[in-house]
């Protein structure tokens, strides 16, 4: 057992290669041919005759076309939550590059519930503009009161706050909006409850181009 352990330690120190593929991008000479053939053997097509090159080329072109058709053909909104940027793009062209604020990632426990909580993340994935609002009013949800240590009002009218979301808002479902902010000094930071904040000028540019159905892709 001891000899075996010593042997293992030695292997660890000298780094004996396993049956694996590896590459380093700076390396002048990429992986050697034997490694390549290893990948093909394990790929699982060894027993099948390779498809004819022409049929492969045709398949490749058809699939590329299919994938290309799934990409937004009209302008779309792209949101980078890690770097807090919102882009309006048409294909690969950037039409607007805006500093944004996205979800803070903080959590707020729901009162009276031991396990349930609000998580203030901006959702990731593909969405689309579902509503366009002019001079939107904020209907404050429960968490907005609880977070400030206030009681949740029973009267709906007490939830409404004017002038905090800017001149426009674009809804993309489940209460999430792209809207303006009074706190422009916080643009570029993850500070929101999940909505996406922009400054007035950028918001106006986005609002003008976006239509109901404009894709919003968030990562």
Partner 1 sequence: MDLNDSVSLQEVTRVLQEEVKLAARPHNYLLIDLATHTIHIKGRGLDLYRIPIVAWSFRMPTAVHGTYRLIARPPIARRTVDPTVSVEQAPLSLADMPTTYTLSFIPALTIEVRPSDEEDLFRRMWAGAKTWWRSLNEWASSLSRGESSSSDPSPYLLLELSREQAQSLAWSAVDGMPLVIRLATDKK
The footprint of partner 1 (CB under 8 A) covers: 8, 11-13, 15, 18-26, 30-31, 33, 36, 39-40, 42-45, 50-51, 53, 56-57, 59-60, 63-64, 66-68, 70-72, 78, 80-83, 104-109, 119, 124-127, 146-149, 189-191, 215, 217, 219
Distance between CA atoms of residues 148 and 190, nearest Å: 19
> Least distance from C-beta 137 to partner 1, angstroms?
24
CB atoms within 10 A of CB 121: 17
**Dihedral over Cα of 135, 189, 99, 80: its sign:** negative
Size of the chain in residues: 219
How would you classify the pairing of strands 196-197 and 131-134? unpaired
> Least distance from C-beta 98 to partner 1, angstroms?
16
Q: Which is nearer to partner 1, 15 or 155 (CB)?
A: 15
Q: Which is nearer to partner 1, 95 or 219 (CB)?
A: 219
Residue with tokens 């209907």: 139
> Least distance from C-beta 93 to partner 1, angstroms?
13
> Least distance from C-beta 18 to partner 1, angstroms?
6
Distance between CA atoms of residues 176 and 120, nearest Å: 11
């Amino acid at each position: 057992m001891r000899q075996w352990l010593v042997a293992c330690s030695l292997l660890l120190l000298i780094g004996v290669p396993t049956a694996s593929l590896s590459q380093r991008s700076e390396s002048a000479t990429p992986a050697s041919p034997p490694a390549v053939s290893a990948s093909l053997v394990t790929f699982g097509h060894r027993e099948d005759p390779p498809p004819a090159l022409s049929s492969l080329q045709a398949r490749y072109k058809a699939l590329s076309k299919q994938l290309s058709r799934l990409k937004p053909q009209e302008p779309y909104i792209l949101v980078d939550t890690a770097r807090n940027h919102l882009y309006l793009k048409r294909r690969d062209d950037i039409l607007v590059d805006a500093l944004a604020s996205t979800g803070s990632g903080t959590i707020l426990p729901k009162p009276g519930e031991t396990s349930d909580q609000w998580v203030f993340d901006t959702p990731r994935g593909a969405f689309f503009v579902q509503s366009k609002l002019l001079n939107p009013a904020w209907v404050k949800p429960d968490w907005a009161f609880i977070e400030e240590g206030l009681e949740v009002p029973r009267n709906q009218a007490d939830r409404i706050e004017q002038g905090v979301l800017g001149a426009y808002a674009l809804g993309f479902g489940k209460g999430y909006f792209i809207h303006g902010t009074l706190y422009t000094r916080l643009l570029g930071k993850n500070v929101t409850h999940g909505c996406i904040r922009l400054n007035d000028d950028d918001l106006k540019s986005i609002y003008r181009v976006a239509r109901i159905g404009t894709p919003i892709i968030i990562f």
